């Protein structure tokens, strides 16, 4: 086969996939998913992990409390305590913070970005008990993180 025949064959395959996708899309239900009960497919999380770099804990500055252990990629909080962190701005549009609750049974993480950023992502909150691990996106402008350990035992959150 010559190069032009291979190119034409590839174009035909893409055209068939496109037409098939449009046909499938036309037969789908137009109702929007319930945002409170919707969880995206697993492959989107893998794509998000690949496209969004992880937050580097070495760049995070502690405002109040003591909780960051950058070398171990963990946050450790005393029982029923809080820690406020300042995340600096960065060139990346998004940085992902994915956490797993290792010890403790009740913890929350609240993120607030500076004004003028993406309104859908400017305020995010994670809470445990709940789905584990959980993640949020830190916007380019940075912002503040407030970690709270609500259990009577110390809490430890770790980045996988």
Say how far apart CA 20 and CA 57 lie, in whole Å: 45
Alpha-carbon distance of 116 to 15, in angstroms, equals 41
Q: What is the pLDDT of residues 5-40, one digit of tens each?
A: 899 999 999 999 998 888 887 777 666 655 555 566
Could you tell me if residue 4 is inside a domain?
no
Say whether pTM exceeds 0.75: no
Domain span at 71:
53-158
Rounded Cα–Cα distance for residues 152 and 62 (Å): 23
Selected residue with higher pLDDT from 49 and 122: 122
Within a domain: residue 12?
Answer: no
The verdict on residue 25 lying in a domain is: no
CATH of the domain at 76: 2.60.120
How many domains are contained in the chain?
1
Mean pLDDT of 81-98: 90
Name, in order, each residue with C-beta under 8 angstroms of 112's C-beta and a sequence gap of 6 or more: 122, 123, 143, 144, 146
Q: Is residue 112 part of a domain?
A: yes
Residue 17's pLDDT is 92
Share of the chain above pLDDT 70, in %: 83
> Is 154 inside any structural domain?
yes
């Amino acid at each position: 086969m010559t190069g032009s025949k291979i190119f034409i064959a590839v174009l035909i395959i893409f055209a068939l996939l496109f037409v098939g996708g449009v046909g499938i899309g036309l037969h789908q239900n137009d109702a929007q998913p319930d945002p409170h009960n919707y969880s995206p497919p697993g492959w989107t999380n893998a794509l998000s992990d690949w496209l969004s770099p992880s937050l580097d804990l070495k760049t995070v500055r502690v405002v109040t409390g003591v909780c960051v252990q950058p070398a171990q990629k963990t946050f450790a909080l005393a029982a029923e305590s809080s820690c406020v962190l300042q995340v600096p701005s960065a060139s990346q549009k998004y940085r992902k913070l994915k956490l797993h609750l290792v010890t403790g049974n009740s913890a929350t993480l609240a993120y607030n970005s500076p004004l003028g950023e993406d309104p859908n992502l400017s305020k995010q909150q994670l809470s445990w008990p709940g789905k584990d691990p959980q993640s949020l996106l830190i916007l380019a402008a940075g912002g503040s993180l407030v970690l709270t350990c609500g259990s009577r035992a110390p809490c430890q959150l770790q980045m996988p």
